[in-house]
Structures are given as structure tokens and as C-alpha cells.
Structure 1
Amino acid sequence: MRRTKIYKILALLLLLSIVGGLIWYAQLSTRHKTIVKTTFLHKTGLVDNDWKVENHSKEYKMLSPTFIVDGIYKSMEGPKASNYVMLSQDSTLLWITGFKVVAQEAKTGEKMSNDFICHMNVDMNDSKYYSTFGLEDRIGKQYPRLTSLSHGMETFEFPEGYGVPIKGNDFLYVTTQTLNHNIKKAYYKVKHKVSITYQEDKNIKPLMSKTAFIMLPYDKHDPYKSPTDPGADFCIPVETKNHSYDDGSGNKLSGHWVIPTGKNTYRSNINQQLEIKDSLRLHAAAIHVHPFATRIMLFNKTTQKPVFVSNVTNHQNSIGLTNIENFSSKEGIWLYENQEYEIVLDVNNTSKENQDMMGSMFLFFYDKEMEAIVNAKVY
């Protein structure tokens, strides 16, 4: 076979591959297109793909790779990146006291609108973390997310005198993601500056993190049926691959669902997620909701009283969250095993189309068992 013919065949195969790839890419959801595009840009070095790290004055700072924001990206659709964090090089016991994320222009470092921040997650290796302190019975009981900051709550600190204990050389896994609800003809180069504050103070009281969130049932046989049958109390999930759960009886639940226009209230029992044994004292809560949420509360269904209420302020002339109230209390509030708790979320979709919604809380409780271990130095 002549060399020119081989070249023609290879060129044809290359062309077919490109066409096939473009067809495949066009069929992806916005979220998955973003993953492909961001991976390509970072792997090829077309945009800065490095994390820049500083660690001094008890504050661990990271500057993310560059994100290209070139269109509308709703919650959990934008470019993102992840990085492992080690607060120190040795096993000194440290206390995490706060988190912060800021959007900035990639080239100049100038601060940008928080509207370019979707969320910043901090995950831990629960197997390594709890094994260190001899608490193996806690492994796998909770989703190993320490906390999450999101649009509307870009800064979070524990009340004075409280923190999450961690060995300095234990790894944390940080993921930060961009957002753009409003600017259709966008082209911005964005970085996220992430900060984790910590102390070595031995008088701090330990907190444990528990994640609780609204889960609503959906029709597993026809999940995207619309309109939803009100009598069935089903939601329409945004997708069934992520944030989809089983209630243990074969019924499907979604933690990421579609809301219609107008006002609605959603609620979900969280006793199974809390796993309270006797009692727990709540000291802090970081909240995650999406635009058009107006209020979220941790509600004691037994006493018919809220444990705390977080009011949510939306932008007035665009889509976005101006502020989400957190919960912080040095004194704490007691929750009990024999009482029933739920998350209640109020929304007001003032747009002219369906939107997506989540309602999550990262709850921090005083950890009496951990305090005994830390004071006895048996780890």
C-alpha cells in the first residue's frame, strides 16, 4: 500500500474521530460538557492548571487553577478543580476554626463578584481520621464531608472556643467550583482563593460534623414525569445518577430536585441522618441552598418549634444569593434521641421557568467522646 494512501486513510479516521467526538460532546449535559472542557484545558496547559499554596500565621491559603467561565453555569455545572490539603508536615494536633472562599480575576488578582462561586467542599478520609483517634465505629456512618461553603455563604467560622481536631499531616480534599447564573455572553478567567484557619490551642472544645439534607421521593419508573402527581408527593430529580438515594425499601429519593414557579415548601425527616444517641449539643451550622430559596430551618417536629431558622436573601434584579444566615452558638442547643427532627425549606421561584434546588446543613455538635480522647492523649 502506498504511503499517500495510508496518510489518506489515517486522515479519514482522524476526521471521523473528530466528528464522532463532537457529536458525543453535543449530546452531553452542561455539567458533563464542563468537565470535558475543563479537563482538556488543564491537561493541555492552555490555561493555568496549578494550585498555588501558602501556609503561615495559622491560615492555609490556596489559589485554584484558572477557570474559564464562558456561558451560563447553574449550580454544580461550572468548571471545577480539586486538591489535597495537609495543614502541616507533622502529626501535631491542630484545630480547624474557619473556612473562606473568594473569587478573583486570574491575571490581576482583583476580587470578583461572589456570583462566580458555586461551592467549596472540604472532604476528609473518615477511615484515616477516625482510626487515628480510635473511633473506628464511626467509619462509614456519615458522608465524609467536613463542610461546604456556597454562593451566599462564602465565609464560615465556629464559635469561639470550638473547632474540629485534626492531625496536621492528615489529608483534606478540597473542591471548588464556579457559577454564572446571569451573564450569557460571558468570557472570564476566574480563580478561587480558599482559606482554612486553624489553631494549636489545647483549650478548644472538639466538634463533630454531621451532614443532613432534604431527600424527596421520585418515581423510579418514570422519574422525569411532568407535571408531577401532587397526590403521589413525588419530586422531579435534576438527574438520577447524582444525589440519588435508596430509602432501604427500594424507593428512590433525590437530594437535587426541580422546583416549579411560585411559592412552595419542602420538608424531610433527618433523624436517620443525625443518628442521635441520647442527646447532642448543636453549636454551629453551615447552610447550602440554591437561588430562590427564601428560608430553611431545622425543625423539632415533636415540640413543633424550630431549633434554628436561616433566612436567605436573594438578589433583587438577577438570579443569585446575597446572603444565607448561618447558625453559631457558644452555649449550644440540645437535640434528643426521642424527638423527631426535619429540615423545612421555603422557596419562591420568581422566574418564568423551573429551577433546581437543594437544602443541606452541615451541623457541628460538641463531641464529648473526642474531648476525652484528646485530653487523655491516647491517639
Structure 2
Amino acid sequence: MSTDVVVALVSDTWTDAVRRGFYSTADQTLTTLLAEPAVGTVLVADHPRGVASQVRRRLAGDRPAPRRPGLRGVRPVTLRTPPPLDEAALRRRYAGYDRQTAAAARWHGLRRPALVTFNLWHAAHAAHGWAGTRVFYAQDDESAIPSHAPHRAQTLAAYRAIARSGMAVVAVSEVLLERIDPTGTGLVVPNGVDAALWSTPPPQRTPHGAPVALYAGTVDARLDLDAFRALAADGFAVRVAGPLVDADVRAALAAVPGVELLGPRPRAEVVRLAQTADVCVLAHHRTPLTEAMSPLKLYEYLASGTPVVATRLPGSAVAGDRVVWVEPGGDHVAGARAALALGRRAETDRLADVAALSWRARHRPLLELLGVGAGVAA
């Protein structure tokens, strides 16, 4: 007998997932569930948006998940999009979101579906009485995200409510799971890689001058700018691919000779950039946010076969000898030089790494928690 599943998104929509190529943790969870034969219908509940936002997005082509075999969508509505600061208003908002989601589940004929909610407020402030197995899937420590500072007290209260509720919690790192401290089932499911994408054979390497050091990810205040400056000063051609979300960090990097800002790139191009680099770089400050992260880019670097130099952080530990670790604020140049000496991973070993790091392999414990067997093959 199949299990139906409702997936509640954290702050975005099905259309957002399509536009970014199903890249994020929530996106790939949807992909796993939709590919699992033991899952019946997946209902995707978009983040609740205000009436004006709903109209603007619909005019721009935003739509809920399409109706097709095994997939349904719902777009809950609220008066305004930003979460209210008032605790009582926050509870009312997400109780209403839960009612709309439950009504959609009934309308589409889902039978006592499991619930996987990525939405902290939905997990903490709704009853979910219509659902079977209930899971809060934590992707980041939302109390440590700088832009969420106005909601920090509410976030910590939400963690306590989730812990008291006994609902299952899946977290991307042990640090994050410990911060939530659930009284029910707690699982660590690190982020993974898209196996089909990263199984692409590496292109033929051509001789080039300076060794290329690649950072592929969001450009924001997490980055250790001194590490990037030092790498460029040592003669590395530093390439930075990813959204430039922090203007100050962008300006600081743009001012460094030897650093090339590539901006956002299609996923297939990120694969090529990583595979053709000489070393991949993960240089972060140690903060409460980065301590709790499961850095997706680190796993993608490993999947590329290129050696890695990375800041040692609690949520970043991986087995093997393909990463040269540097303590926070340490010497990333020496680390990068040591990584260069490792050379590229043999292709058979690289493909084995891709399989082990794949989202399908990572999600096996989640599928077991939802009662849909031992999980799918990697």
C-alpha cells in the first residue's frame, strides 16, 4: 500500500523550485518522493503569500505544482506575505495555512498523508491533526540567519514548541539537531548531490597558466575574504560563481586583482567549472549559522573529483582524504597547495563518491521514517 505525502515549503513555491532546477534541499526532497514507487501522491503546499503577491506572481507565470499522476499542488493565501511579529498573529496565520493545506489534501483524495514541513512556523504553530507521520525538516538554524533577526525570539520559541510536540525532526547537521533538541525521533540527513548531474564525465583538461581556485556558492557575509585575497596574492586565479547577494562582499572581492566574479551560472556550467578547476575552495567564517550548516557546495566539490580546501566547521565533516582542512581564520593558501598535490580523483572512485553522496542515498532514512520501505537505490 502506498503512502501519500504533503510537503510544505519554507518560503517559496513550486515555480521557484522549477526555476532553480530543483537545487535546494526541499526541491530534492520533492524529487526523491516523486521518484519513490511506494509514495502515492505528493501534495506540494507553497509558502503562504498575500493576495497582492499572489496576483503579481500569477501574472509573472507562477503556478502551483501541476496536476499529474502522483503530484498535486496548493497555493494557500493570507492577507500579507511577511510573517507577523506578533505571536498570536503568527499562530493564526499558520493555523489558517494548515487548514487550507488539509482541505487540499482531502480534496485531492490523499489518505491520512504523512507531512514533511520545511516551514518552521507551520511545524510549531499548527495542529496537523489530519496528518499521519509528521516531520519538521530543518535546513538551517533560522535563529542564526542575520535577515531573520527580528524573529529570533519567536524562532527559539518555535524550536521549543517543536521539541515539546514530539514530532519527528530531520536536520541537515548534528549541531542543528542538538539545537532543536526534539523529544521525538531525530535524524541527521546531510545535504547531497544530484547524481545524474554530477555523473557527467569531466571534460578534457587543457594546459593553462595559474592554478584555478573555484568557489561556487552564494556570495555573502559568510565568506572569509582574507582567504580569497591570500589565494589571489599567491598566484591562484580565483573564480567565484554564484549569486552576489551581499553588495559589500561583492565590492570587496571585485577589488582584488586575480579574483573573477562570474555571478550565477546554470547548474551544468557549475559542474564544468568545478571539474576543470585545480582546487575547490570553501572558506567561511565560523558563526552560529555556519556551525549548523551542511554545506551543499562541499559535497558537490567532492562529486567533481577536484581536490578541496575547506574551513573546518562542525557540520562540514566528511570521511576520506580528499579535503584539506583549515581551521577558521587559518592558512588557506597552504591548504590549497596541499590540495593541489592530491590531484584529481580517479573516475571510478569519483563516480562511487557521487553515488554515496547522492540525494537518493541521503534520503533513505527519511523514506524509512515515512514508512515507505528501505529507500531507493542511489
State the TM-score, normalizing by the size of structure 1. Answer: 0.27
Larger helix proportion of the pair: 2
Larger strand proportion of the pair: 1
Q: Which structure carries more relative contact order (alpha carbon 8 Å, separation 6+)? A: 1
Larger Rg: 1
